[in-house]
Structure 1
Amino acid sequence: MRSHPERPYDWVGAWSEKRAQLSPEKVGLVDETTGERYTYAELDRRANRTARLLRAEGVTGDGEGDGERVAVLSRNRPELVDLFFATAKTGGVLAPLSHRLAAGELVEMLNEVEPALLVVEEPFADLAARILDHEACGFDCSVLALSADDADDSASASSESASDSSAIAAEPWTDALPDDDSPVETADASMDDPHLFLHTGGSTGVPKETVLTHGSILWNSFNTITAWGLRPEDVTPMVFPMFHTGGWNVLTVPMFHLGATVVLAREFEPSEVLHLVESEGATVLVAVPAVLRMMTHHDDWADTDLSTLRFAKSGGGPCRESVMEAWWDRGVDLSQGYGLTECGPNNFTMPDGWPREKADSVGVPVMHADARIADGEGEELPAGEIGELELASPHAADRYWRNDEETAETFGDGWVSTGDLARRDDDGYFYIEGRKKNMYVSGGENVYPAAVEDRIADHPKVEEVVVVPVPDDRWGQVGMAVVQGDESLTLDELTDFLDGKLARFKRPRHLAFVDEMPTSGPSKIDRQAVKAEFGEE
């Protein structure tokens, strides 16, 4: 899958080497958990050691554009950065996996990935043991164990997964790691060669592995830097997990590209993020809406110095207006972003001096990306009409790994089909209206839950809300509002509140409460779980 197989470029896999040459003494990575700070020169030396380890384990390029894979079950830690830089050097592929998934799901994914090496952090040794002992396990590879280096690793991992590394027969990472940190020869790699496998959210079925090439990673970084105005002096806390596209492509790789500073930790609570913004002088913050909301509700919110933040971005779902206003009141330019594993994920930006009345939008396309709204036949719709959002950019992923049918459906015609409904206004701003599969029809009218949820979330008794369809004898389907918040809220009270804000057919006819919304990722609400419990399939 190479554009120029006869002309490999030495710089394609030289992320850490090039940055170490350009800014050797600049701190590129801060490990908040241990307090260690790593310069780019140190990160390159660590990458060289890790590259030698990978080559010893057979994690290299195969000469045909599909390198050998290293799979990882771990929280955020410097070794994942080492593996990113090292697989770039060797021509291998990094495939981080969610430790939140069940053993059966991970077995199916690993059978497809076929790793040459599996790296397991100590808190997930029991989970790894169940994977390796599973009757469906069809892969065979070396296993290395990363020791937990935080004070209370069992508290961080789930009770199901927490353990010591004796649960698996694995050589310790530190024992396998060579001492030689001198420069290594980089592989003959093309921009079209894979570098990352990142799996989708998996709301239905087993998650698919999305193939991100060296080129798509670089183009997303370039688009992010130019569209968001990132700078070498920027500092950001990385609150997304590194098994998620947010953990790499939202800010980490663009920051490394520039020689900026990324702060990571095994776990990040909203209070810790507030502390880090002040203690590290963070200049950029990107988080999911739930984290941004929890920060505003924390006791330290009013007293935390946020003056170093140039801007903040919300991603992973709609951000409520009340949350945005809380950040604006503190002088922070908060706006919404949009992306997905299959494309970007940084596809839109807010123009200079954007008006607050556009806050519900995700902005306009970045420099090197196109966006359109299409009908069911793939024809572009005019401004104001709702259809499927489609994206095109050199930062799009290449394909789904070993899944030709899904690849053709999502990437088939040069446009990435997002599965999200959206509209474009006359000024070129795009608005996300929700997932195609979440839309329902009530009395012949299309209802988009995201728009309904935005209005319900303005009620002071509502913290989070998901609207799901339920059967109705008269209208076919009506909405049920599933609320996390004050359970004294009544349906009549909510209906009165929505009067004049939503059309009658959009207003929920049923109300239910949960103590806490289920999540399916980095604080991302699991809508399918809510629908399975309260709605209709």
Structure 2
Amino acid sequence: MVDRSAPQEWVGAWSEKRAALTPEREGLADATTGERFTYADLDRRANRAVRLLRDRGVDADDSVAVVSRNRPAVVDLFFATAKAGATLAPLSHRLAPPELGELLARVDPGLLVVEAPFAADVADALSASGVDPSVVVLGADSGDVTSEFPEAPGYDAALPADGSVVETPAVAPDDPHLLLHTGGSTGTPKETVLTHEGIVWNSVNTITAWGLRDDDVTPMVFPMFHTGGWNVLTVPLWHMGGTVVIAREFDPGQVLSVIDEEGGTVLVAVPAVLRMMTDHDDWDSADLSQLRFAKSGGGPCRQSVMQTWWDRGIDLSQGYGLTECGPNNFAMPDGWPREKADAVGKPALHVDARIVDDDGDPVERGEIGELVLRSPHAADGYLDNPEETAATFGAFVATGDLAREDADGYFHIEGRKKEMYVSGGENVYPAEVEDAVADHPGVDEVVVIPVPDDQWGQVGKAVVQGDESLTLADLREFLDDRLAGFKHPRHLAFIEEMPTSGPSKIDRQAVEAEFGAE
């Protein structure tokens, strides 16, 4: 049994301990505003944010939702909720209001912090969610309010001035801290419950597997509503005392500038971001000499992109993870050979990775099966979703990905067990997109399949049986308030009649065989 009266030693203690150990070292820099924050600054801000939570009625075990781009205030809330024993639920500002409303209903936050540009969508989402949290608006200045939330104070104005030490409850290692949403087999978002212990263990795995140091600096190119925004590098670097540089929007030139001017040492990004950086005018002139390594995640990285980074002397390799476990599970050994570039590496120090058949039995080395993972950094399950939790979480976490282990012990991801595809690091589920497309009056039947794309890795192609005067522009305009933009099909094709493999059952494989080449 965990002694809940013992002093709190988990994530909520990190800003305080970093402030005690390395008070003048910079933990966060904001490339958008030029602001810089030492660990002493971050802890004072976290204490002020704890007082804000309590002023707004947030108690231990309550949830705080935030809809925002990467901003220092989101960091405040990360440390403050950990100190207060509450959970933080960052929600994607890219989602359409119905999707966002579903997540708000599931999280049921006591406090909702919304960045001003997204107030209208959040207001629409709240109206359909059935929840009524206290709202604080995060904007460009302390007095910022919006017409959607005229009674809500601005974040800076509501933040108490007192940054002194706050009393904190005892927090058990299995208490939740982060609720991070991912997709389900039908595209319905699920909230994954990450505990204090899991967050700590992922940091340990990342630090030991990748050799992170206390002087490491990274530009954070993942959004903070993703596990990538927190657990890939941000939290591990704070654990070590490194520096994280954030910005509101991704700009490849700015990232190159951060690496150059801030002495960036480590970088993790999706393949599309890595490609955009190599295509930028500043690629050849940017000083990347301090960049010790780069990693690609969120989908397969093309060999041509990797070669461009290698030509600059950067050790770029592929990684693998998921919100439900990690996300950092593998590492490339020292001196790994380039012929292993399509592998994700070997299991990290505290990760047990296996490849199993449909019965859960291990397959022979070299055979393809489902990748399953076991580690103390695994999530606790899905929020209020016992059926999906039981299906995914057991002795091992079922990833749903097909993989093989080669003769040298390197793991290779071979594809998705289900039909989900990854576009620019975002999971897209065809069934969800098909449901939305099928609502168009010109569509009788539709199948959405992934096709290769140089920029995003994969994008959707809608194969439609229906009115052939329908254009892709018309379809995307129709989907604007129904689906997030990254889920919109980028190609449109027509078929006279859908092939079937049985009574009224569309043969998806036949559709993909005919239309999936481009």
5 Å-filtered alignment, 1:164-183, equals 165-169=146-150, 170-183=152-165
Show the counterpart of 2:327.
345
Residue 533 and residue 232 in structure 1: after superposition, are their counterparts in 2 closer, same or farther (change >3 A)?
A: farther
Matched to 1:325, the amino acid is Q
Matched to 2:280, the amino acid is H
Q: Deviations over 1:304-359 (max 9, x none)?
A: 11101000000000011111110000000000000000000000000111111111
Q: 258, 262, 277: which is aligned to 2:240?
A: 258
5 Å-filtered alignment, 1:239-258, equals 239-258=221-240
The answer on whether the counterparts of 1:227 and 1:349 sit within 8 Å (CA) in structure 2 is: yes
Query: Cα offset for 1:484?
Result: 4.3
Show the counterpart of 1:431.
412
Q: Is the deviation greater in 49-58 or in 327-336?
A: 49-58
5 Å-filtered alignment, 1:47-62, equals 47-61=46-60
Show the counterpart of 1:228.
210
The answer on whether the counterparts of 2:145 and 2:153 sit within 8 Å (CA) in structure 1 is: no
Show the counterpart of 1:114.
108
The answer on whether the counterparts of 1:203 and 1:528 sit within 8 Å (CA) in structure 2 is: no
**Separation (CA, whole Å) in 1 of partners of 2:358 and 2:385:** 23
Q: 277, 281, 286: which is aligned to 2:263?
A: 281
Q: 126, 129, 142: which is aligned to 2:134?
A: 142
Show the counterpart of 1:160.
none
The answer on whether the counterparts of 1:128 and 1:168 sit within 8 Å (CA) in structure 2 is: no
Matched, 1:418 2:399: yes
Show the counterpart of 1:159.
none
Residue 201 and residue 480 in structure 1: after superposition, are their counterparts in 2 closer, same or farther (change >3 A)?
A: closer
Show the counterpart of 2:340.
358
Residue 533 and residue 395 in structure 1: after superposition, are their counterparts in 2 closer, same or farther (change >3 A)?
A: farther
Show the counterpart of 2:96.
102
Matched to 1:435, the amino acid is R
Q: For residue 185 of structure 1, give the secondary structure of its aligned residue in structure 2.
A: coil
Query: Cα offset for 1:529?
Result: 4.4
Please list every run of 5 or more consecutive structure 1 residues that lacks an aligned counterpart in the other structure. Answer: 62-66, 151-162, 440-448, 454-465, 469-478, 487-513, 519-523
Matched, 1:324 2:306: yes
Q: 54, 59, 63: which is aligned to 1:69?
A: 63
**Separation (CA, whole Å) in 1 of partners of 2:487 and 2:158:** 42
**Separation (CA, whole Å) in 2 of partners of 1:149 and 1:319:** 40
Residue 203 and residue 480 in structure 1: after superposition, are their counterparts in 2 closer, same or farther (change >3 A)?
A: closer
Show the counterpart of 1:46.
45
5 Å-filtered alignment, 1:201-220, equals 201=183, 204-220=186-202
Matched, 1:90 2:87: no
**Separation (CA, whole Å) in 1 of partners of 2:386 and 2:454:** 44
Show the counterpart of 2:168.
186
**Separation (CA, whole Å) in 2 of partners of 1:6 and 1:314:** 40
Overall identity of the aligned pairs, in %: 64
Query: Cα offset for 1:204?
Result: 2.8
Q: Deviations over 1:385-418 (max 9, x none)?
A: 111100000000001000000000000x210000
Show the counterpart of 1:18.
17
Residue 381 and residue 484 in structure 1: after superposition, are their counterparts in 2 closer, same or farther (change >3 A)?
A: closer
**Separation (CA, whole Å) in 1 of partners of 2:488 and 2:362:** 29
Please list every run of 5 or more consecutive structure 2 residues that lacks an aligned counterpart in the other structure. Answer: 431-447, 456-471, 477-483, 495-507, 513-518
Q: For residue 418 of structure 2, give the secondary structure of its aligned residue in structure 1.
A: helix
Residue 530 and residue 423 in structure 1: after superposition, are their counterparts in 2 closer, same or farther (change >3 A)?
A: farther
**Separation (CA, whole Å) in 2 of partners of 1:91 and 1:128:** 25
**Separation (CA, whole Å) in 2 of partners of 1:532 and 1:149:** 44
Residue 127 and residue 278 in structure 1: after superposition, are their counterparts in 2 closer, same or farther (change >3 A)?
A: same
**Separation (CA, whole Å) in 2 of partners of 1:267 and 1:164:** 22
Show the counterpart of 2:479.
none
Aligned residues: 451
RMSD (Å), alpha carbons: 3.0
Show the counterpart of 1:295.
277
- TM-score, normalised to structure 2, is 0.82
Q: For residue 353 of structure 2, give the secondary structure of its aligned residue in structure 1.
A: strand
The answer on whether the counterparts of 2:392 and 2:399 sit within 8 Å (CA) in structure 1 is: yes
**Separation (CA, whole Å) in 2 of partners of 1:287 and 1:525:** 20
- TM-score, normalised to structure 1, is 0.79
5 Å-filtered alignment, 1:508-523, equals none
**Separation (CA, whole Å) in 2 of partners of 1:528 and 1:373:** 33
The answer on whether the counterparts of 1:123 and 1:148 sit within 8 Å (CA) in structure 2 is: no
Q: Deviations over 1:365-386 (max 9, x none)?
A: 0000110001001111111111
The answer on whether the counterparts of 1:125 and 1:164 sit within 8 Å (CA) in structure 2 is: no
The answer on whether the counterparts of 2:141 and 2:156 sit within 8 Å (CA) in structure 1 is: no
